[in-house]
Structure 1
Amino acid sequence: MGLGRTLGVSLLGLSGHLIEVEAHLAASVPGFSLVGLPDAALAESRDRVRAAVSSSGIGWPQRKITVNLSPASLPKSGSGFDLAIAVAMLAGAGVCDAARVAGVVHLGELGLDGRLRPVRGVLPAVAAAVAAGHPHVVVPAANATEAALVPGAVVLGAASLAEVAWRYGAEIEQPAPSAVEPVGAVRRAPLPVDLAEVLGQHQARAALEVAAAGGHHLLMVGPPGAGKTMLAARLPGLLPDLTEPEAVEVTAVHSLAGTFDPAEGLLRRPPFEDPHHTATAAAVVGGGSGMPRPGAASRAHRGVLFMDEAPEFSPRVLETLRQPLEHGELVIQRAGGSARYPARFQLVLAANPCPCGKAVGKGLECVCPPMTRRRYWSRLSGPLLDRVDLQVEVHPASRAEIDGAGRGESTAVVARRVAGAREAQVERLAGTPWRTNAEVPGHWIRAALGADRSLMADLDRALDRGALSLRGVDRVLRVAWTLADLAGRSAPSRSEIGQGLLLRTRGQVAA
Structure 2
Amino acid sequence: MLVKTFGAAVSGIHAVVITIEVSVSPGIRFFMVGLPDNAVKESQQRIESALKVSEFKWPGYKIIINMAPADIRKEGSAYDLPLAVGILAASGQISQDLLSKYIIMGELSLDGSLQPIKGVLPIAIKAKEEGFKGLILPMSNAREAAVVKGIDVYGAENIRQVADFMAGMNNLEPFVVDTEQEFAGIFADGEDDFADVKGQESVKRALEIAAAGGHNLIMIGPPGAGKSMVAKRLPGILPPLTLEESLETTKIHSVAGKIGSNTSLITRRPFRSPHHTISDVALVGGGSYPQPGEISLAHNGVLFLDELPEFKRTVLEVMRQPLEDRHISISRARSSIDYPASFMLVASMNPCPCGYFNHPDKKCVCAPGAVSKYLGRISGPLLDRIDLHIEVVPVPFSKLGTAPAAEKSEVIRERVMRARKIQAQRYSGHQGVHCNAMMSSRLLRQYAVPDEGGSQILKNAMEKLGLSARAYDRILKVSRTIADIEGMDAIQAHHIAEAVQYRSLDRSGWGG
After TM superposition, is the score higher than 0.5?
yes
1:102, distance to aligned residue in structure 2 (A): 2.1
Quote the residue 1:218 is aligned against.
217
Structure 2 unaligned runs (5+)? 174-187
Q: Within 2, Cα distance between the matches of 1:451 and 1:393?
A: 26
1:363, distance to aligned residue in structure 2 (A): 8.9
8 Å contact from structure 2 (residues 475, 496) kept in 1: yes
Quote the residue 2:180 is aligned against.
none
- Aligned-residue identity in percent: 41
- Is 2:110 aligned against 1:129? no
Quote the residue 1:182 is aligned against.
none
Residues 321-340 of structure 1 mapped to structure 2, 5 A cutoff = 321-335=319-333, 337-340=335-338
Moved more, 256-265 or 38-47: 256-265
- Is 2:26 aligned against 1:27? yes
Quote the residue 1:352 is aligned against.
350
1:63, distance to aligned residue in structure 2 (A): 2.0
Query: Residue deviations 1:154-189, cap 9 Å, x none?
Result: 11111111221222239xx99999xxxxxxxxxxx9
TM-score, L = length of structure 1: 0.90
Q: 2:147 aligns with which of 143, 146, 149?
A: 149
Quote the residue 1:435 is aligned against.
434
8 Å contact from structure 1 (residues 75, 337) kept in 2: no
Quote the residue 2:305 is aligned against.
307
1:383, distance to aligned residue in structure 2 (A): 1.2
Residues 224-303 of structure 1 mapped to structure 2, 5 A cutoff = 224-288=223-287, 290-303=288-301
Whichever residue aligns with residue 363 of structure 2, its letter is E
How many residues align? The count is 494
Quote the residue 1:44 is aligned against.
42
Quote the residue 1:201 is aligned against.
200
Q: In the superposition, relative to structure 1, how do residues 451 and 206 fare at CA in structure 2: closer, same or farther (>3 Å)? A: closer
Moved more, 77-86 or 397-406: 397-406
8 Å contact from structure 2 (residues 165, 172) kept in 1: no
1:419, distance to aligned residue in structure 2 (A): 0.9
Residues 443-482 of structure 1 mapped to structure 2, 5 A cutoff = 443-450=442-449, 455-464=454-463, 467-482=466-481
- Is 2:416 aligned against 1:391? no
Q: Within 2, Cα distance between the matches of 1:407 and 1:261?
A: 37
Query: Residue deviations 1:4-27, cap 9 Å, x none?
Result: 111111011211111111112232
Q: Within 2, Cα distance between the matches of 1:87 and 1:403?
A: 67
1:507, distance to aligned residue in structure 2 (A): 7.7
Residues 26-105 of structure 1 mapped to structure 2, 5 A cutoff = 26-28=25-27, 30-105=28-103
Quote the residue 2:483 is aligned against.
484
Quote the residue 1:183 is aligned against.
none
8 Å contact from structure 2 (residues 241, 268) kept in 1: yes
Whichever residue aligns with residue 502 of structure 1, its letter is Q
Whichever residue aligns with residue 34 of structure 1, its letter is M
1:116, distance to aligned residue in structure 2 (A): 1.4
Q: Within 1, Cα distance between the matches of 2:139 and 2:213?
A: 42
Quote the residue 1:377 is aligned against.
375
RMSD: 2.6
Quote the residue 2:117 is aligned against.
119
Moved more, 241-250 or 43-52: 43-52
Quote the residue 1:409 is aligned against.
407
Whichever residue aligns with residue 421 of structure 1, its letter is A
Structure 1 unaligned runs (5+)? 178-188
Q: 2:424 aligns with which of 423, 426, 437?
A: 426
Q: In the superposition, relative to structure 1, how do residues 53 and 486 fare at CA in structure 2: closer, same or farther (>3 Å)? A: same
TM-score, L = length of structure 2: 0.90
1:53, distance to aligned residue in structure 2 (A): 2.0
